[in-house]
Structure 1
Amino acid sequence: MSVGPISETGGPENREKWRTDLRDVNVRVWLEGPAPAPTSLDSSLRRNSAFIKRLKQPNLSESKAQILQELACLNLRKYLDELVPSLPEILWRNTSLKDRYAAVEILSALHVKFGGDEFTKPFMSALAQELVPAATVFEGSAEQAQKEEANRTARHRTLARIVTELVLVGFVGPLDKQDVLRHGLEWLFGILRSLLAQDRDHIYTSLVQGLLRSYGSILLASVPEHEAGQPWMTVGDSSPSPTALVSEEWQTKFRRLFETYYVTLTRHASRLHASLQKQAQRNRDAYIRHGEVFEDRQAKFERQAKETKTLMESTQAISVMLQVHGLDLPDPQNEPVQKQGLLLGAKSTLAEMSARTEQEFASGKSPWEDEETRNFYTDVCDLRAHVPPSLLAGGAQGDDPKKASTETEELSSLTSLLDRLPLLGNREMVDQLAIELAFYTKPATRKRLVERLLSVPKQRWDLVPYYARLIATLHPYMPLLVDSVVEQVDQRLRRMSLRSKMDAQTRGQAIVYLGELTKFGLVPEHIVFHMFSRLLDDFGRVSLEMLALLLETCGRYLYRMPATNAPMQNVLDQMRRKRAAHHLEEHHGLLLDNAYFKCVPPEYPVVVHRTLSIKEQFVVHLFEEKLTEMKMDRISQLVRALDWQDASMEDLLFDMFTSPWRVRYEGVRVLADLLRVLHSWHAPFVVRVLDRVVEGIDTDLSRTDYMAGQQRVARVRYLGELFQCQLIPPEAVLDQLWRLVVRRVHRPDRYDDFTRVRLVCTLLQTCGEAFSAHPWRKRMDDFLAAFQYYLLAKPMPPVDVAYQVEQTLDQLRPRRSRHPSKAALAQRLDKILPLFYQRDLTSIVAGLVKTGGTEHRPGNDESDSEIPRDLRDEWASSGDESDSQDGTDSLYASEGEPASASDNELDPEAALDEQADDELEHELALLMAEANAAPGWLSGGGSTLERTRQALSGASVPPRPPPAAPTVSSPDFMTFSLLSRKATKEIQVPAAASISVRARQQQEQEAAERQQLKAYVLAYRDREEGSRAT
C-alpha cells in the first residue's frame, strides 16, 4: 500500500487527496479481497511480539514508516487475537492530529493485508464496544466519579475523530458499489446517536465541537443561518456540490442529529442560568439577614457560575459551527452584586485566570494533581472582603522617601507578625497572616517583608509553597513585592550557576521558590524558560539536580497550561535527547526520569470490575450476612433451589464454600453443616470443596505471608468443623496435625514464627475432644508429645500464643501433667517418631501388598523389630479399627451409592503416580538427613534412627538371586516388578492402563535412542577407517 504523505499543516486539497488514495485501496480490498500472502513472511515470536509492542507505544507518527515496513514482512495472522482487542486503547492514546493520520494509515495497511472478514469486522466490533456510553453509575466518591467521567469523555472524543476518519477513507464495510460510504456512515451515525441520546448532563460537548471543527464541512452542507430544529427544506437554498463525498441524505441526518443535541444543550444552559440567578438572590438575602455570606454558600455559587460559564461558551461555539442562532443569555459573572462594599461574584485575578485556562485546555487534563492542590494555587483569598479599600489602595503606590521617617514606628509591631512565618502550616494560617500584613502597606514594611520571605530556614522546604501563596495573596495590592522577590531569586540562581560548590540546600530552596512562584503565575515566562535553557546547555552534575528539581516543582503546570505547552514540550524533548546521548550515572538518570514522568505522568487503563448479577448478589448476601444456625434450614432450601447447571453460579457457590473467611467466624460451623446437607444432592461438588480446603491448607504452609493469617485460621477451623460434620475421616485430621508440626523443605518455618502453633491450637480446640475415645486416644497422646517438643524447639512464645496453648492442652487433657523437660520428650519421641515415619513411608505400597493375599500391618514387617511391643499392639488395634470402618469411610466419598468389588481392588496408577513418588522421596531424604545430622528432634547419639543407620551400613549385601525363567505374559497385560523388603513381586497390569502406555512409550523411546547411538558409533568408526586408509 502506497499513499501520499500527509502533514499536520497540509491544506484541504492535500488531505482530500490522501483520503482518496486510501479510499481506493480499501474499497478494492472490500470488493476483490486481500492479496495472497507470500510464503516468505516471518512468523517468529520475537519479531511479531516486538511489532505489537512497538505499535502500543505513543507517537505513532514518528514510528509509522518502520511499522509499515515491518508489517509487510511479518506474518501476524496468529497474533490477531491479541492485536485486535488492544487497538482501541492504542488509538485513544494518540491524541494529536499527525498521530491520528498515522493510525489511519496503519489500520488501512492491516485491512489490506488481512481483509475485512479476518481483521476489519472484529476490529470494528471492538471499537463499537469501546464507544458505548456508561451502563451503570460509578460506585465511589463524587471526586472519583467525576474523574472517571472525564477520562471516559476524553477517550470517546479521540476515538470519535478517528472513527470518522476511518469512515471517510472507506475502511468500514461491507461496501455498496453505488454508495461506498453508505454502510460506514450508517455505522457512524448509530454510534453518535447512542452517545448523544443518553447525554443528559451534556458531557460530550467537547466531542461535538471536535467533530464539527474537523469534519463539519464534510458531514454537513453549508446553509444560511437559521433557527435550530428548522426543517431542511425551509432553511434556504442549499445546493450541495455534485462531487460531495457525503450524500445529501446523510448530510440531512447528521445535521438533524447535531441540531437536536444543540436544542437540548440550550435548554440545559437556560436551566443552569435560572438556577444561578436564584442562588445569587439567595446570597443577597443571606447577606441582608446575617451581614455576611457563608463560605459553603459562596463556594457553591462560584462553582455553579463556573459550570454555567463553561456551558455557555460551548453552546456559543457549537451554534457558530452549526450556523444556527445562538442563545443570548447574560453571563452571571458580568453581573456582580455589591452590597456594602462586598462583591459576591468576585474572585481573585489568579483564580479567574486558572479557571479559564483549565477549561480552555484542549486535552482536558488538569495541571493540578488533585482538587486540594488546585484550590491551594487557584483559590487565593481576596483581601478586599477583609481590609478597608483605602489601605489596599495605598499599598500600590511607590516609595516616598519623605515619609520614610514616620514608618519606623510600625516596624516594631510588624516583627511579631514576621516571626509567625516559620509557623505556617495550612491555607487558613497563610490567609490570616496575609490579612494582618495588608494593614502594613508602607515601603519600609515591604522591604522588611521581602528580606524575611527570602530567608527561608534550612531544611524547611515545606514553607516555600506557603510563602509563595502569601506573596500571591498580597500581589494585587503590593505589586512591587512580587517584583522584588522574583528579581532577587533570579539573581541568586544566576550567581549559583557559577559556583557549583554552593550549599545544596540553598540552591534547592531557590529553585523550589522559583517553581512555586511560577505555579501562582507570578514569574514571567521568559525567566523560567531562560533558566531551563541554561540548565540544559550546561547539563552537568549540579545542573542536572537543579533541572530535575525545577521540573518536579512546576513542570506539570507549564506542560498542562496552553500558553506554555509548546515551549515546555520542547524543553522535555531536548532533555530526553540529551539524556539518551549522555552516559549519566544511575542516580542522575533516575532523577531525570522521575522528573519527566512527574510532568507527563503515564496513563493507565481503567480497571473494569465485574458486576455481580442480582442472583449472585443474593447468594453473597445469604452467605456473608444471613448464615446463622436459626436460618440454616431455609438457606439450605434456597441454595438447593439455585440453578446448579449454570457454570457461573456453581463457581460462585464453590468460591463461597471454599472461602470460610468471608462468613462470620461463628458461621463457619453453619457453613460446614450446610455443605453436609448438600452432600446428598451434589456429592461431586462437595468432594471438590473438600479437596480445595485441604490443598489450601498445604498452600498456606508453603508461604509466610502475614496478610493471609486470618484466612489460614479460618480454613483450619473449617477443616475441624467438616470433621465434626463427618465429611472427612479422622485420619485426615491426624495427618494434617502431623504435617503442621513436621518440618519440610518446601514448607518454610522460621525459628521465631508461631503461625503453625496457632493453627494447631485452632484445629485442636475445634475437634480435638473427638479423639479422646479408645481407637484414637493413644495416637493423639503421641501427637501432643510431638507438639510439646515442637514448642520447646522454639523460643519463648508471646503471651497470647502461650495462653492459647495452655488453654488447648487443658481442654484436651485437663488432668495430665506436662512433660517436664526436653529430654523426657526426646525419650518418648525416640519410640514414636520411627513409627510415624514407617506409617508414612508404607502408606503408598500398603494396598499393593494387600492385593497379594497378605494383609499388611505395621507390626508384621521385619522392620518393626525396633519398635516396642506395646506400641505395635496399640497401632495394630488402631489399624483394625480403621479397617473396620471402611463402610463409614465409603459414605464420606459417595453417600447413597453401593460399594462395588472394584473399590477394594488395586489401582496401580494411583499408587505409583508422580505425586506419591515425590512424597516418598521427600520423606526418605528427610529421614536420612535427620539420621545423619546432629540430633534435632531427638537428643543423644544412641537413637533408633542412628542405630538403624549403623545397622544398614554394616549389613552385608545378599547374593544376586539366580535369573528366573522368563514368564510369558499375555498381550493384554504388562508385567511390573514391585520391590519390597521381603522379595520382588511381579504385578500384571492391563495394557490399556495409562501407566502401561507410558512405560511402553518410554521403552520404545529408549530403544530408538540406542539404535540412533549405535548408528552414530558405526558412522564414526567408518569415518575413522576411511581417514586412516587415505
Structure 2
Amino acid sequence: MLASDSTAPDVLEAPLASTATNNTASATTTTDGATPPESGKDQEQAVATAPPEDSSNVEQGDGDGDADADGDADTDADAEASAALEAEEREELQQFINELREKIEGKRQLRLQNSTFELPGEEHFARLDSNLKKNTAFVKKLKLFTATQLDALLRELSALNLSKYISEICAALAEAKLKMTDVPAVVTLASRLHCTYADFDVQFLEAWQKALNIKASEKIGNPSKLRVDLRLFAELVSSGVIQMKPGLAQLGVVLVHLIAQDKDDHSNFSIILSFCRHCGEEYAGLVPQKMQQLATKYGVEVPKSDFLTADKQLNLRTMLKGYFKALCKHVLAEQTELMNMTKNIRRTMECKGEISTEKREKCELMQASFDKLLASAQSLSELLGEPLPELAKESECCNPGTVIDNMLDSAAFGVLDPWGDEETRSFYTDLPDLRQFLPNFSAPKVDLETLEEPSELTEEAIEANLDAEMDLDDPPSTASDTALETASEELPSSTPTTATSTPAIATSTAEDVKPHKMGSALMELGRQQQQQQQQSQQNQNQSQTQTQTQLRQQFDGFLVNLFNCVNKELIDSAAIEFLLNFNTKHQRKKLTRTIFSVQRTRLDILPYLSRFVAIVHLCNTDVAADLAELLRKEFKWHIRKKNQLNIESKLKIVRFIGELVKFGLFKKFDALGCLKMLLRDFQHHQIEMACAFVEVSGVYLYNCRDARLLMNVFLDQMLRLKTATAMDSRHSAQIESVYYLVKPPESSKREPTIRPPMHEYIRHLIFEELCKQNVERCIKMLRRIDWQDPETNCYAIKCLSKAYLLRFPLIRCLADLVSGLSSYQPRAVTIVIDNVFEDIRAGLEIHSPRMAQRRIAMAKYLGEMYNYKLVESTHILNTLYSIISLGVSMDQSVVSPLDPPDSLFRLKLACMLLDTCGPYFTSQATRKKLDYFLVFFQHYYWFKKSHPVFSKSENTSDLFPILVDHTYRDCLAGVRPKLKLYKSWDQAKAAIDQLQEKLYPQLKANSAQDPSLATISEISELDEGATDEDSGSSNDQRERQVAGQEPEQSNDWTENETEPPLPPPPPPEKSKEDLEFEHLYEKMTTDSYQERLKEPIKATAKDIPVPMMARLQKKSYEQITGGQASGSANTNATQISKAAANHEAAPGSPGPEPPDGNGKSGAAAVVPFVLMVRGNKGGKQQFKSFVAPSDSHLAINLKLQEQKIREEKEKVKRLTLNITERIEEEDYQESLLPPQQRNFTQSYYQKPNKHKFKHQKGAPDADLIFH
C-alpha cells in the first residue's frame, strides 16, 4: 500500500483524469494530422499524393472519420462531466466552510456570554427550593447524564438552590460516563451553572484536575472515558466555562503525558486522533487536507478560530507532527515484523507441509493489528497534511489470508473446478479471437483474468472498503443518461473498422483533412476551381449527413436486435458485427447505457449480454468498466434506499453482477463486498438479492482459491442468520436451497441392496421394462415365474403393489399388467388390491407430507384398477367417502390431527381419483351414487375454503390457493360438465340436509319396524362379504378394456348393478284410482308380512307328552333311597334328556354325578327315562320310570338326535334373518331409483332381458328424452 493512495481523494482524480484525456486527445490529433508544408510546391505534392494514400488505407480513414464525427459529442460530454464535478466540489467546500464558520461563531458567542455575565443576588437564591431530597436527586441525575435529559435538568436548575452542592455537582459531571453526543449538552449545562454560581468554575477545574490526573508510569485504565473527557474538557476551556490559562495548562499536561506514554506501542492513538478530529481546528489549526486543497483550487479562504494565537497553535501542531513521525516508524517496524513472520510460515509450510494452529492465529492477530494501525496512521495523515512513508508492495507484505490459506487449499481441496462441466466452462472462457476478423488490428489481446484483484481478500478488508464506500454520497439513481455519462472515464477509440464501410465516410474524412493539408494551394487554382470545389463540398456534406443518419438508424436496429440473441452463436455474431461496423466512442457509450437498462424481467438474456461485453472487452475495455461501475452504483443506491419496492430491478442488478464476475469483468473483491453489504441488514428484499447472487455466482466464487474462504464464511453466516431470525418459510427455503447448491451435503454412500436373481428379474420387468408397448410381453414373462414358491410369490405381489415407484404415466400400464394377470393368478391379484386399499387407508390415518407423492400415486393406481375392471364402483365410492370423512371434524373449532385446517391434500387426492375413474361411471345407478358423493365432496370443499385459515384479511385477498381451486373445478367439470356448483358452505349444508330428508327417513323407518335386526349385524357383515366375494369372482370372465376408451364406446362393459344398461320403455300411465289401490295393497301386504314375521314359529312336537296322572305318581321307597331327585319321573323324556345333556361333561371326562340329599355324588352317571306300555285292562297306557347309563346306545342316540334338531333350527333361523335383510336391502335400492323404473330392476347375476320395442302412443316424454 502506498501513501499516495490515502492522500489523493477520489474527488480530485476526476479533473486530473479529464485534463489528461484532453491532452492525450489533442496530442493524438497533432500526431495524426499532417505537418503543414513550407511551400506551395510541397502543398501541390501533398495534394497529388493524397488519393493513393486514401485508397490504400480506407479502413484507417474510416476509423478516423468516425472519431472526428464524434469529436464534438465527446468534447461536450467531457465539458459536462467537468462542470458537474466542479459544482459538486464547490458545494462540498461551501458546506464545510458554513459548518466551520457556524461552529466558530457559536463558540465566540458562548465565550462572550461566559465572560460578561452578572451573578444573581441573594434574594434570587432565597426564592429557590433548597429541599435536600430534590437537590440530592438532581446530583444523582448528573451522574447518569444523557443529552435527552438536558431540558429537564435546566428546568430543575432554575427552580433549585444548589449553592451547597456545587462540589458534588462538579464531581458528578467530571466522573459521569458520557458519550460523544452528550458533550454539547454538558457544555450548555455547565455554562448555565457557571453563570449562576460564583465558585463553580474553580471547583469545576479542581474536579477535572482530579479526573485527568495521569501518571507517566501507569497505563490508561479506561481509554474510552478519557477520550470523551479530553474532548469535553477542551470544549469547556474554549467555551469559557473554565479559565483559559489553567485550563490550557491542564490540557497540555494531559497531552504531553499521553504522547510520552505512547512512544512504543501507540495504544493511546485513538484518544489523540479523536482530539485532533473534534478540537484540532481550535487548538492546532488543523483543516482536512482535502478541504484545504479545494479551497486553494477555487481561491476560497477557510475561516479560522481566534481562540488561540498562531504561535500557540504551532506548538501543539509541532508536538502532534512529532507523534505522527513516531507512529510512522512504528508502522514500518510492524510491517517488517509481519513480513518476517510470513517468511517463516512459508518456509515451515514448504518443509513440513503443515502449520500449527498457534502460529496461524498469531499471524492473523498481527495482521489485524497492523491493518488497524495503518488505518489510524492514514486518518492522522489526512488531518495533519503529512504524507505517509512509502511501504513495501502488497506482494511483499504479509498476507496470511492468501499465503497460508492457498497453501492449505492446495493440500486439502486439490483441483477446484469453478465451472462444473465442459459446456459451462466453454461458454465463460472460450471467447472468439477477433484478430482473424480484424486483419489490421495491431493491439495485443487482453486477458480477462488480468483484472487487478486486491491481494488481500479478507473480511476485514471488505469491511473497510464498505465503510469507505457507504460514506460517499452517490446520486439518488444511476439510471439517468447524465449519471451514465459521468459514471466513468471515457477512453478514446483505438480499434479501426473494416474495409467494407461505406465510401462516403472515407470521403468525409478526406474532406475534413483537406482544409488542413491544402491551405494556400486552393487559392492558386483560380476562381473557377474554387466554385467547383465549393459545389462538390456541399454535395459531399449532404451525402455525409445522409450517411450518418443511416448509420444511426442501423445502430438503433442493432441495439433492438441485440436482445433477441438468446444463444451463443447469435451473441458472438452480434459482438463481431459491433466491432466491425459500430465501434466508435459515442456508440460504445450508447451501447453501455442500453445494456445497463435491459428490461428487468429479461433475466434469461443476462449471461449472453455479459458474454457480449466480454468479447468487446478484448478490444475496448471502456464498455466493461463503465457497465461494472454503473451496476455497482445502482446496487449501492438500492441498499442505501432501504425500500421494499422494485424487487425485480434489484434481482436484475445482482444477477448481472454475478454474471460479470464469472466472465472476470467485475472484481471478486467488489462482488464479495456486495454480498457482505446484503448480510449487514439481512431481511426482506435483501434476502432474495443475496440468494439470487449466490445462485448465479456462488459456485464459481466458492471454487476459486482466492475467494473460497470468504465465500464459505458468508454462506455460514447466511445459515446462522436464518436460524437466529424469525423469517418467512419461503425465505428460509431459498437460503437452504442456495446454501446446499454451493455446498452440497456430504452424504455417505449407500450400500446397494443385494437381492436374489429372481427378485432382480421381477424388479427389472416391472420398474424398468414396463411401458405401454410391452405390457403383453411383461405379462407373459411374469406368468413364467414360479408362483408356487412363497418367496417369489410374495415379492412379486410386493412389487405389483408399489405403484409409487414407477413414473406417473406408467401407473396405467401397471394396472393393465395386473388386469392381465388376474385371469391366471386371481389370489395374487386379490392380495395386490388389498394392499392398495390398505396403503390408501394408512395414508389417511398418518398425516405426513413426505407421503404426499406416494398417496397420489396409489390413488391413481386404484382408479386405473377400476378402469381395468379389477374393483367395483362400490369400492371406489367407499374410498372417496373415506378420503373426505376419515378423521375429519366438521367443527371449525376442533383441529383434527389427521386433516389439519391448512392441509388441502385430501382435496387433491379425491380429485385425482375422480379424474382417473370418474368418467367411467356409465350406468345410471353408479352415476346416481356418484352424484350423491359430489354433494358431500362440495360440502367438504367449502368447509375447507371457509375456514378462518383461508379467510380474507384487511390487506390481502382470498388466501385459498388458486391452484387447488382450479384443480377442484376442472375435476368436477370433467366428471359432470353440467353440474351446478355450490357457491358457499351454507348452500352445501342445505343440499346435504335436503338429501338426508330424501333418503334417511325411509332407512330409519325400515330399521324401526324390527329392532331385533341390530343383534345380527355380524352375520349380515359376513353375508355381505360372501356376496361381494361371489360377485368379485365375475371379474375373471370380463374382457380387459383399455381405460382410455370413451364410456360411450365400451358397449361390452356394464357394471353388475341392479339396473340394465339400456333404459326400459316407460310404463303406461295409470289413473289416480289405480295408484291409490296399489298403494293400499302394498301397505296391506307389508303389514301382513311384518305381522307374520313377529309371530313365533311353533315346532312340531316329536316327543310324546307324559300325562298328568303319571307326573303325580308317588315315588317308591327304592326311588327315594336310590338317589333319584324328587319329581324326576314327572318330566317327559325330552326334558330329562335335555337336562342330562346340559349337565354332561366334555368328551373323555366322566359323566355327571347327581347329588344326593347330603350333597354327595352318586356312583355312576345315568339318564332317566319314562317307558310307556299298553295295559291289560282296556288298553290303558301305563308309565314306568327307569334309568339308563349315559354311555348306553339308547342315551347316545337320543343325544345325537337332539343335536341334529338343534342345528337344523339354527340354520333355519339364520336363513330367515338373511332373507329379511336382503328384502330390506332391495327395498332400499328400489327407493333410490325413480318411481317409473322400480318395477324393472333385475338381479345382479341375471342377464338383462331384451324387451321388444313398442312405439309410444301419444306425445313423447320430454323428461325421459333430455334427462
Given the two structures, how large is their TM-score scaled by the length of structure 1? 0.35
Q: TM-score if structure 2 supplies the norm length?
A: 0.29
Q: Higher relative contact order by CA 8 Å / sep ≥ 6: 1 or 2?
A: 2
